[in-house]
Each structure stands twice: as structure tokens, then as C-alpha cells.
Amino acid sequence: MPELPRKKVGIIACSGEEIPEGTVTRLAALKVLESLRPRETVTICLPLFLAGGKGDRAFARFYPTIALDGCDKRCAARGTEMYSGKPAVSIVVGSTVPANSAGLGSARRLSEAGLQVVSNLADEVAQRVDQLLDLKWDRRSGGTLASSEPQEEAKPHPATCSCGSGIPVGTLQVAGRKVTLVALPQIFSQFCEAGKIPGDLTRAEVLEAVRIYNPVPEEEEAAYAEALVEEYGAFCRGSS
């Protein structure tokens, strides 16, 4: 499996504008993204699954996701599953973190109690992130204990979203028709960096890597492999 961008957890908030719980999900997601786990998390706007392209819809296939919902309609969890992939974790405000709707304030301005629920929910999400990444978090150092990488100083960090970028896709001519393949540029890039020479030896390997993120019809495997090797060759020539 190619090492696509460093493994992160995707946080998807419903952001429901009508109810305070929706604002709780939004602010909790932002707290995790900006302060608690900025290096381990990324987000995408929920509507982008519908409005975006194939790359955006591949989001939950790349990242284990945590869906945060403000009510039992579970728009974030269901929308993510419908368009992208089943969330690894689904949390509805009030289900794991006690929340009294009447005391949260308004959707526009949360009360102190509402902000406390945001903080509690964000802590819960951060713990789930650690579980998904199998990390142990050292609160004193602000770094992960399991990681051998040097930790950056823990500090507020702008939330990173996938708007306008999504997951990279590439196109390929297979048996006379154009197909779009998720992650193709990264797969080629990693193969190229690893010094894999285009040809028969890499044919099966590149097909296998592509198949992780894309459906490849069994009856067309040979045509895909042929096209992939040819395209990978062109990619390598362009990179050299």
C-alpha cells in the first residue's frame, strides 16, 4: 500500500446551523484541528461530498473518519457513508458527552455551558483520534509517545481542510475510454521515488496499488495494467 499523505484522521462535523448542538460539533472539530491534534487531523466540508469531485468523495477511503453530529438525523455520519465511506467513529452530541440543549445557548452564540460541552466533546474526539492512530499522547510534552518523529511545539494551528484540493486523481486511457483513478499521481510519485522501473516487473505492483483505492473490473485487469505501465513510464520520463 503506498504511503499516501501521512496518516491522519478526518473530522467531519455536521455544523448544523439551526441548533446549538450543530455549532457544538463545528467548534469541537475546530478545537481538535487547530489546538488538540493539528498534526493528526484534517477536515472536509460535508457538502463537498455532494458538490465536489471524485477526489473529494474518496476522502473517507483515505482517512479513518470521525463524524460529529448535533442530532439524531446524523447528517455527517450518514452523508459521509453515503458519498465516501463509513466513518470509523460516529458521535452525536449528548450521546457520549452529556449536554442539556436548553443550556447550550443559541446556534449563533453558545453559552458558557455550551462552550464547556465543546471542550468535553473535543477531548473525546482527541482520544478517539489517538485510538485510531494507535498513539499515546503525552499531555506534558504535547507530543505523541509512540512516535519517533521529533514533535513540533504544541501551538494553535490553522485548521486544514480539503476544499479545492481533495484527494488527487489522474486519468488514464483504458481500452479506448478515459477512466479517472483516485490517488494515481501519488502512487506514481512514490513508485518513481522508490526507483521502480516501468515495465513488466512493476506491472502487477502498480495495478495492486491502484486497486486499493479504485475498483478494477476483473475482466479488464490486463487492460488496466497495460495502460498503467504505459502511463507510469510517461510519468517517469516527465519527472526526470
Partner 1 sequence: MKEKVLIVPCSGIGKSYGTVAREGAYAVTEDLCPGKTRLVPLALLVLGEDEARAAMSGARAITIDGCKLACAAKVVAESGGSVAHGLQVLEVFRRHRELKPSGIAELDENGHKLARVLAEEVKRLVDTLTQEASHA
Residues that bind partner 1 (CB under 8 A): 13-18, 22, 26-27, 29-31, 34, 43, 45-52, 73, 75-76, 78-79, 82-83, 107-108, 158-164
Rounded to a whole number of angstroms, the minimum distance from the CB of residue 10 to partner 1 is 12
Cell (9 digits) for 64: 479513518
Rounded to a whole number of angstroms, the minimum distance from the CB of residue 37 to partner 1 is 15
CB of 154 closer than 8 Å to CB of 142? yes
Rounded to a whole number of angstroms, the minimum distance from the CB of residue 162 to partner 1 is 7
Could you write out the DSSP letters of every residue in 153-206? PP------B-TTT-S-EEEEEETTEEEEEETHHHHHHHHHHTTPPSSHHHHHHH
The residue type of 57 is R
Phi, psi (deg, nearest 5) at residue 156: -55, 140
Cell (9 digits) for 5: 499523505
**Nearest-angstrom CA–CA distance, 23 and 109:** 8
CB of 147 closer than 8 Å to CB of 165? no
Cα distances (angstroms) measured from residue 69 to each of 83, 87, 164: 16, 12, 24
Cell (9 digits) for 2: 503506498
Rounded to a whole number of angstroms, the minimum distance from the CB of residue 19 to partner 1 is 8
Residue 61 or 78 with smaller CB distance to partner 1 = 78
Residue 163 or 212 with smaller CB distance to partner 1 = 163
Rounded to a whole number of angstroms, the minimum distance from the CB of residue 20 to partner 1 is 12
Phi, psi (deg, nearest 5) at residue 165: -115, -50
Residue 26 or 128 with smaller CB distance to partner 1 = 26
Residue 39 or 78 with smaller CB distance to partner 1 = 78
Cα distances (angstroms) measured from residue 147 to each of 40, 183, 199: 12, 26, 36
Residue 14 or 184 with smaller CB distance to partner 1 = 14
Rounded to a whole number of angstroms, the minimum distance from the CB of residue 69 to partner 1 is 9
Residue 80 or 214 with smaller CB distance to partner 1 = 80
Residue 116 or 189 with smaller CB distance to partner 1 = 116
Rounded to a whole number of angstroms, the minimum distance from the CB of residue 30 to partner 1 is 4
